[in-house]
Amino acid sequence: MALCLKQVFNKDKTFRPRKKFEPGTQRFELYKKAQASLKSGLDLRTAVQLPPGENINDWIAVHVVDFFNRINLIYGTMAEFCTALSCPVMAGGLRYEYRWQDEHRYRRPAKLPAPQYMAMLMDWIETLINNEEIFPTRVGVPFPKNFQQVCTKILTRLFRVFVHVYIHHFDSIISLGAEAHVNTCYKHFYYFIREFSLVDHRELEPLREMTERICH
């Protein structure tokens, strides 16, 4: 029998502290609404839809932060199985290889061991979601014009975490009794990015067969 989420995933193993929403804010209320939909047993396809009257960027922001927390937790638990020795390249099987690029240290795409890529990724996302100019939390402060493009980049890179975990560490997922929980998180993520067309379909190709099987 699969264990409950808190038993399967040790929150102390997360790469970064969980990003939390300030109580009393619109973002916090949206987060509670999203969580209530999930806990109610509502179909995930329906749960990701924009609630009537809500701002789409607020809805996307809430989910990007929540997916960062959840995927960070999943990978943090798997990290002991993902080393520079076992995963010298950030990849998804033999056909897909992901190289890291940013505006500072790695201006050209760099081949990195998976653990280093993951660390760079979580640092990069954390910096973005804590940046008030990109993810504003104060009432009346508008989102930047390129907000959804930034979120597309974040979600595209987070999808690669699923690719690596599913293809290279699925046995570990099973051994932890975490398969059902990881699958549910993946389905939630997949339905969300498809609902709002936030990740290019070509990026989804590495997990296409599995997605067709569990997200039918």
pLDDT for 107-141, tens place per residue?
A: 899 999 999 999 999 999 999 999 999 999 887 88
Mean pLDDT over each residue of the chain, to the nearest integer: 85
Dist CA 33 CA 117 (whole Å) = 33
For tokens 């290279």, the residue is 168
pLDDT above 50 (res 45): yes
Average pLDDT for 65-74: 91
Query: Between these two residues, 128 and 27, which has the higher pLDDT value?
Result: 128
164 annotated binding-site participant? yes
Count: domains in the chain:
1
Question: With pLDDT > 70 as the criterion, what percentage of the chain qualifies?
Answer: 81
pTM of the model: 0.84
Q: Is 169 annotated as a binding residue?
A: yes
Does the annotation place 87 within a ligand binding site? yes
The answer on pLDDT for 12 being more than 60 is no
Domain of 20: which CATH number?
A: 1.20.140.30
Q: Which domain holds residue 172?
A: 1-215
Q: DSSP per residue over 90-157, as a string?
A: -EETTTEE--B--SSS-SS-B---HHHHHHHHHHHHHHHHT-TTTS--STTPPPPTTHHHHHHHHHHH
Mean pLDDT for 182-203 is 95
